[in-house]
Amino acid sequence: MTIAGLSSVSAQESADAEKLFKEGIFLREQGQIFNSINALETVLTNDPTLQRARLELAVAYFRALNYEQASKQAQRVLDDPKTPETVRLAVLTFLAQIKRDEAALAANPHNFEPSISLGAMYDNNVNVGPSGTTLPGGLVLTPGSSPKSDWASVLQAGVTHTYNSPLVIPFGQTPTRLIWQSSAGYYHKGYVNMTDFNLTALTFATGPGFIAPNSWRAKLNFQVDNLRLGSEQLGLYSSVAPTATWQLKNGELTVDGLALHKRFDRKIDDGRDSNYFSAGLSYGHLFFTGKLAAQVGVKGFNEKADLERFTNRGWEGFIGANVAAWTNGSVYGRYSYRTARYDGVEPIFAVAREEFEDRYEVGAGHNFKEGLMKDWKLSGNWVRSEAHANVSIYTYQREVLSVNLARSF
């Protein structure tokens, strides 16, 4: 009778262990990594000889980015003489993967990536001249206000530094790596004739990032842009931009925001100083095993300026696609729509501005993988903007054709 009772208790304990073992694997596959570790640790506490549970625990630690514990648990399975030869081969492969990932992280905590881009462009409306030249009351704009075209050269250079921290931060059940990314950049667009519209920007950005492999990533970016127009200091833009992206099956969902302070220096821009805020949502999806990528997005914005006539709010949306058209080459197309309403009335017109803009863009790019141009990317695009407003001087059409050669080192 006593033996039968012990047998019954043993069977129940075995059933409970099996249930907890299966629960641990289920939790791991559902992304509840730390709950999975707790369940599998409990199984091994009750029976340290269950090497299949230990191996699954090693995998859970690996997904938790705890390479030390993953290696330790896998090695204990390998050291057990009862482990079958086929399992040993799998464990050896797993241990090699752990060492590669651990070595890669340790070897490259700091990564510097310089980049450069050289280009040329043709702009048929450099000064954003209005489509019509007649104002209310029969007033006519000066010839200098009509659309002017010109060629320009474009130079962009920068360097990005990424610090890959070994620190693992648990966000709920998700193990997350911390990175810190900083960048400095220089941009110059110089026109051949209309040099008053040359644009130069010096940019510095920094901020933390969080990466949960195969799950999500996020970043908080602090940025300052110093802008010059022609030979004059235009202003200083200061911003903070949070972004979060969730990986879905064959797709990504992104939420982003922006808080931007615009400070202008020229007398002609008095009243334009403003605080701009926006929030957006976008989704990208891969089709045909990644050969076609499509994206759609929308965002709302609100800008409060010193003068009411520059204060505005509205929304914008876009849709686009990128196709792998040939080996190492792709083509893309994008359409965007933007609409805004302003608070204060416009001088002369005596109405508050309302406007919307259609923007069309097509382009192509090719990555060189060998030969003299190895690691360079050649790309070109055409952009057409059509702005419409109830105030005629803000209605215009503009086309820009550009080509550039870029490389990261």
264-302 residue pLDDT tens: 999 999 999 999 999 999 999 999 988 999 999 999 999
Check pLDDT > 90 for residue 148. yes
pTM to 2 decimal places: 0.81
> In this predicted model, what pLDDT tens digit does every residue of 332-345 receive, in sequence order?
999 999 999 999 99
Here the CATH number for the domain that contains residue 14 is 1.25.40.10
**pLDDT band per the 50, 70, 90 thresholds, residue 17:** confident
| 203 and 264 co-located in one domain | yes
Mean pLDDT of 134-162: 78
For the stretch 185-242, pLDDT in tens is: 999 999 999 999 999 999 999 999 998 887 899 999 999 999 999 999 999 999 999 9
Same domain, 193 and 78: no
Whether residues 395 and 311 fall in one domain: yes
Contact 119, 108 (CB under 8 A): no
Mean pLDDT over 348-375 rounds to 94
- On the question of pLDDT at 4 being above 80, the answer is no
Residue 9 predicted with pLDDT over 80: no
Q: Is 147 helix (H, G, I), strand (E, B) or coil?
A: coil
Question: Are 124 and 88 contained in the same domain?
Answer: no
Which has more confidence, 258 or 290?
Answer: 258
pLDDT of residue 13: 54
Residues 58 and 148 in one domain: no
CA gap 63, 356 in Å, rounded: 48
Where do the H-state alpha helices sit in 64-217?
67-79, 85-107
pLDDT at 142 over 70: no
On whether both 327 and 195 belong to a single domain, the answer is yes
| Predicted local confidence at residue 141, as pLDDT | 54
Domain extent at residue 97: 2-106
Helix, strand and coil in the chain, % to nearest 5: 25, 55, 20
Give SS3 for 46: helix
Angle between helices 85-107 and 51-63 (to 10 degrees): 20
Do 202 and 172 lie in one domain? The reply is: yes
The pLDDT of residue 347 is 87
Query: Which residues partner with 56 through β-bridges?
Result: none
Task: Check residues 404 and 132 and name the one with the higher pLDDT.
Answer: 404
In this model, does residue 2 exceed pLDDT 60?
Answer: no
**Cα–Cα distance, 337 to 294 (Å, whole number):** 17
Helix 67-79 to helix 85-107 angle, to the nearest 10 degrees?
A: 160
CATH of the domain at 338: 2.40.160.40
What's residue 351's pLDDT? 93
pLDDT digits over 230-240, tens only? 999 999 999 99
Under the banding of pLDDT at 50, 70 and 90, the label for residue 159 is: very high
252 and 196 in one domain?
yes
| Spatial contact of 245 and 216, defined as CB atoms under 8 Å apart | yes
| The pLDDT of residue 330 is above 70 | yes
d(CA 284, CA 300) in angstroms, rounded, equals 19
* 8 Å CB contact between 396 and 365: no
Angstrom distance (rounded) from CA 397 to CA 16: 73
pLDDT grade for 7, boundaries at 50, 70 and 90: very low
346 φ, ψ (degrees, to nearest 5): -85, 140
What local confidence, expressed as pLDDT, does residue 5 receive? 41
Confidence band for 3, pLDDT divided at 50, 70 and 90: very low
User: pLDDT category, 173, cuts 50, 70, 90?
Assistant: confident
Predicted confidence band of residue 26 (pLDDT cuts 50, 70, 90): confident
Task: Give the H/E segment covering residue 378.
Answer: strand 376-389
Residue 136 sits in the same domain as residue 43: no
Same domain for 152 and 60?
no
Q: Among 308, 306, 298, which residue's Cα sits nearest to residue 278?
A: 298
Q: How many domains does the chain divide into?
A: 2
Q: Does 89 share its domain with 140?
A: no
Q: Do 266 and 296 belong to one domain? A: yes
Q: What is the pLDDT of residues 38-95, one digit of tens each?
A: 889 898 888 888 888 999 999 988 888 888 889 999 999 989 888 888 888 889 999 9
Task: Single out the residue in 106, 126, 161 at which a domain terminates.
Answer: 106
- Which of 106, 141, 176 corresponds to the end of one domain? 106
Could you say which of 72, 106, 140 is where a domain stops? 106
Q: Residues 6 or more apart from 262 whose CB is under 8 A from it?
A: 235, 237, 272, 273, 274, 275, 276
